[in-house]
């Protein structure tokens, strides 16, 4: 299927590894001009080289912390107008309510919620002018079914979901779609870190934790970043122009909702 987005411009944040890197790879494979962002220049450049080798597309790297207002402003200025935004940020710290002091809540809000809002604020006007745009927010199945030891993620990714739905209602008439993709247990560095933390508290090994998570999914395994990336590529496409305001789980059937 030709997704009709060759030559479009995309910005993918949190793209030095994991889900963001996979999303950038999938878009580049469709002929999109991709800019990737993260805090690590070395890891960004390694990811860009990997994407170039696989797709023969040149990927632009912009280093910066999207939770810091000055970095985000510089990122947007350097990047310029885009057609596709994939808003992704590393997950906030794991833990229960009593584990996090007020300053940790503030940092988590800046990383997870405000970065999505501020990126949208900066990039949306050019999409309105062109009457075409794709806003895609990587959240989590935690917005559909909260995870006990991920209270920060539960709270602020739910905020992104409400924001996305509101934006979708307002800007659909301008040819702009806004959707969330909700990864389930996916084989990323982030999941490995969560497993290590849970292992330290449970007495099990991290491998046992990860194996248990995969076995609890109807598909019988953990997801692959490339599988979420395929959904992102489709939502970026011309064919997905009538899909907006959705939160789409990519979780191997783990969360058993009717809608």
Dist. CA 169–CA 136, nearest whole Å: 14
Q: What is the DSSP string of 178-232?
A: EEEEEE-SBSSHHHHHHHHHHHHHHSS-HHHHHHHHHHTSTTSS-B-HHHHHHHH
Which ranges in 80-185 belong to alpha helices (H)?
A: 102-108, 115-130, 151-171
- Average pLDDT across the chain, whole number: 96
Sole residue written with tokens 């030891």: 149
Residue closest to 132 by CA, chosen among 9, 257, 217: 9
Q: What is the pLDDT of residues 115-148, one digit of tens each?
A: 999 999 999 999 999 999 999 999 999 999 998 8
Calpha distance 13→127 (Å, rounded): 18
The residues near 135 (Cβ < 8 Å, ≥ 6 apart) are: 85, 87, 120, 124, 127, 164, 167, 176, 177, 178, 179
**Mean pLDDT across 56-61:** 97
Which burial class, exposed, middle or buried, applies to 101 when counting CB atoms under 10 A from its CB (0-12, 13-18, 19+)?
A: exposed
| Each residue's pLDDT tens digit, 224-235 | 999 999 999 999
Instruction: Report the percentage of the chain scoring pLDDT > 90.
Output: 90
Partners of residue 35 on adjacent β-strands: 11, 60
Torsion from C-alpha of 203, 90, 85, 19, nearest 10 degrees: -40
> Closest by alpha carbon to 24, among 100, 205, 71, 32?
32
pLDDT of residue 1: 85
pLDDT in tens, 100-111: 999 999 999 999
Band of the pLDDT at 201, cuts 50, 70, 90? Answer: confident
148: three-class secondary structure by DSSP: coil
Non-local CB neighbours of 256 within 8 Å, separated by 6+ positions: none
State the pLDDT at residue 197.
Answer: 87
pTM of the predicted protein model:
0.96
Residues 155-192: tens digit of each pLDDT: 999 999 999 999 999 999 999 999 999 999 999 999 99
Confidence band, pLDDT 50/70/90 cuts, at residue 96: very high
């Amino acid at each position: 299927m030709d997704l009709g987005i060759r030559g479009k411009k995309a910005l993918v944040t949190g793209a030095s590894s994991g889900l963001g890197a996979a999303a950038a790879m999938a878009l580049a494979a469709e002929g999109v001009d991709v800019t990737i962002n993260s805090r690590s220049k070395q890891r960004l450049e390694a990811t860009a080289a990997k994407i170039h080798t696989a797709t023969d597309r040149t990927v632009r790297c912009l280093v910066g912390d999207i939770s810091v207002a000055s970095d985000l402003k510089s990122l947007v200025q350097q990047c310029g107008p885009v057609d596709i935004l994939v808003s992704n940020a590393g997950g906030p710290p794991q833990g229960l309510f009593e584990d996090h002091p007020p300053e940790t809540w503030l940092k988590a809000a800046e990383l997870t919620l405000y970065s999505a809002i501020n990126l949208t604020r900066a990039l949306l006007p050019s999409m309105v002018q062109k009457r075409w745009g794709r806003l895609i927010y990587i959240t989590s199945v935690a917005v559909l079914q909260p995870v006990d030891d991920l209270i920060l993620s539960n709270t602020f990714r739910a905020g992104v979901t409400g924001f996305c739905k509101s934006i979708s209602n307002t800007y659909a008439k301008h040819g702009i779609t806004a959707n969330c993709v909700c990864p389930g247990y996916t084989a990323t560095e982030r999941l490995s870190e969560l497993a290590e933390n849970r292992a330290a508290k449970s007495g099990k090994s991290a491998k046992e934790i990860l194996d248990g998570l995969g076995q609890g999914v109807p598909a019988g395994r953990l997801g692959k970043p490339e599988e979420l990336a395929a959904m992102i590529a489709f939502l970026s496409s011309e064919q997905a122009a009538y899909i907006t305001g959705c939160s789409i789980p990519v979780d191997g059937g783990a969360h058993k909702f009717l809608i």
